[in-house]
Amino acid sequence: MRRPVVLIVGAIPALALGLIGCGSDEPAATTQTSGVSAPTGFGRTLHYSSFGTKADIDCGDRRPLDVSGSNNILTVTGTCSSVTISGADNRLRVTDIADSIVVTGLNNTVLYENGEPEITASGTGNDIRRA
C-alpha cells in the first residue's frame, strides 16, 4: 500500500515541473482577436493600446479616447470629447473631436472631420489637421 502513495506524491512534483513550460510570454491584460486589440474602458475613457493593428473605434457620445502603441490605423466614429495619442506612427481618422487633441511621440497623424479642438503636440513629425 505504501508504494502507490509514494508514486502519487512523486507524480505531483513531476506534473508541476511539466506545467512550468506551459506559460505564455504575452501580458495577461492583452486581449487580441484576429490581430486587433479591442479598446478597454476604465471609467468613461476608451483606452486603445496595440502595435500594428487596423481597427474601428466608436467614441459614442463624448467619451475621451487614449491611444498608445505604434503603427496603428484607427477609424474613430462618434464624438470624442478628447483624443490623446502617445507612441509612434499611428494614423487616426476621427469623425468629431469636441474639446482637445494631445499628441506626444513621433510621426503620428490625426485627421479630424468635425470640431474645433484645442491642439497640443510635442515630439517630432506629428501631423494634426482637419480632414
Query: What's the total number of domains in the chain?
Result: 1
Residue 71: inside a domain? yes
Residue 74 is assigned to a structural domain of this protein: yes
pTM assigned to the model: 0.69
Separation of alpha carbons 33 and 60, rounded Å: 22
Helix%, strand%, coil% for the chain, nearest 5: 15, 60, 25
User: Over the stretch 102-117, which tens digit does the pLDDT of each residue have?
Assistant: 999 999 999 999 999 9
Residue 2: per-residue pLDDT: 55
In a domain, 68, yes or no: yes
| Domain that residue 65 falls in | 37-130
Partner residues linked to 120 by β-bridges:
102
Q: What does the pLDDT look like over 31-72, one tens digit per residue? A: 333 344 455 555 799 999 999 999 999 999 999 999 999 999
* Residue 50 in domain: yes
